[in-house]
Structures are given as structure tokens and as C-alpha cells.
Chains A and B, each alone.
Chain A
Amino acid sequence: SQTIHQWPATLVQPVGSPLSLECTVEGTSNPNLYWYRQAAGRGLQLLFYSVGIGQISSEVPQNLSASRPQDRQFILSSKKLLLSDSGFYLCACHSRTNTGELFFGEGSRLTVL
């Protein structure tokens, strides 16, 4: 079965500092991978998705970037964090089940001060 690991689980960073959130997937190969952000009390906003190594699609213009250096590794980065980057970041993988739902990691909570 698929498993998604995200780290760190919680992060507090000053404005202007860099960011790196990592996501790794087990139990599947060549998955579609996704980064979503959830602002406090809000829905999920799709930030990036990737259909393969080195292939990144950005959904919204922003201060963040994503990379996929390996088949089952997805990284979310920023060179200089903004206050508005605070939120709950969720990595997801497209399930291989019949229903094709997205399978989510545990999330990374980022607070920018």
C-alpha cells in the first residue's frame, strides 16, 4: 500500500529565510505527485503537481518552487519566505485504486514570523 512521508511536521521560520519541505512516497512507482497548501480555516489550494522526474507544473504564481529529483521524492522550496507563506502544506499522491483518489501525507505546518 502507498505511504507518504512528509518532514518536517512543524516549522517556524523568520521572514526572509529559506524553506525546504520534503515528501517521499513508498509503495508505488511513477506516481503523480502534488503539493497543496491550506491556509488557516480555508480549503486546499493546489500549488504544484508533477507527472514525472523533473516535470513540474505550477498552478498559481507565488514565492515557492517545487522540484522532483527522484521518482518518489517531491520537494517544496523557497529562497525567501513571506508572512503569507504560513500554512499547512500537504503532499499527495494519485492513488492506483479504482476510484483514483488522492492519498495524502501527514502535512507540514509552517509558521512564518
Chain B
Amino acid sequence: AQKITQTQPGMFVQEKEAVTLDCTYDTSDPSYGLFWYKQPSSGEMIFLIYQGSYDQQNATEGRYSLNFQKARKSANLVISASQLGDSAMYFCALEGPSGGSNYKLTFGKGTLLTVNP
């Protein structure tokens, strides 16, 4: 069974500093993908970044990067140079099962990030 764990209910960071949001996962699938989403107070889910299990390099997307440690089954999100607009709920998600039409994402409980001025 797919499982995603986000152990930080809330995080605080000063504006312009970097912050790491933790995510660990468990899957028996040899091929999988990991996603991070941002959910502002408006409720919309915004896709941020994706990491495939066979990708050789850690994913990066602007100020977002993913610290992927496959052996430890962790996929932490790093936000550099935090901005006030980064204050939101952040969700890690695991895709599975691989192949076939039954594609779905399993989400963690999320981390509420607050950026202080």
C-alpha cells in the first residue's frame, strides 16, 4: 500500500531565507513519482514539482527543489529565498500504482508554512 508521511504540521521561516519541508514515503512499486503541491488559503491546489523514481538528478523548478534520497525514501521540498506569498499549505503526494489506468495520487497530511516579514 502507498503511504506518505509529512511530520511537520507547521513551519515558520523568515522572509528571504530557505526552508525544507519533509516528506517520507513507502511503496512496493519499483517505479513511482513524487509530487509537491501548494494550497493557498483560497483552496486551489497548485502543482509545484515532480520527481521520478528513476530520475538521476534532483528536480528543480525555479525557487523549488526536491531533495530526493531514494534509499531513505524521502523527498523533501526546499524553497529558497522565501517570499510572503509562499505562506500556504504544502502537500507531498505519491503516485501509484505504476502503469495501467488506475493512476492515482496519495497525499500526505500537509505542512502549513508561514513566512514572516
Contacts and interface: CB of A to CB of B under 8 A. Distances in A.
Contact of B103 (A32, A45, A106, A107): A32
Contacts of B43: 88, 106-107, 109
Given A99-B50, A100-B95, A107-B44, A43 B110 contact: yes
Given A43-B110, A44-B91, A101-B35, A51 B101 contact: yes
B104 A34 contact: yes
Chain A contact-residue range equals: 20 to 34
Interface string B41-68: 0011101001000000000000000000
B80 to A, nearest CB: 21
Interface in B85-104: 91, 93, 95, 101-104
Nearest to A34: B104
Chain B contact-residue range equals: 20 to 34
A98 to B, nearest CB: 9
Contact of B108 (A43, A92, A95): A43
A34 to B, nearest CB: 7
B44 A104 contact: yes
Interface string A55-87: 001010000000000000000000000000000
Contact of A103 (B6, B47, B50, B104): B47
Given A46-B104, A99-B50, A104 B45 contact: yes
Contact of B101 (A32, A46, A107): A32
Contacts, number: 54
B18 interface: no
Contacts of B107: 36, 43-45
Contact of B91 (A34, A43, A103): A43
B109 A43 contact: yes
13 contacts: A32-B103, A42-B110, A43-B108, A44-B91, A46-B104, A57-B102, A59-B104, A100-B33, A101-B50, A103-B47, A104-B44, A106-B43, A107-B44
Given A32-B101, A44-B107, 10 more contacts: A42-B109, A43-B107, A45-B107, A46-B105, A49-B104, A57-B102, A100-B33, A100-B95, A102-B45, A106-B43
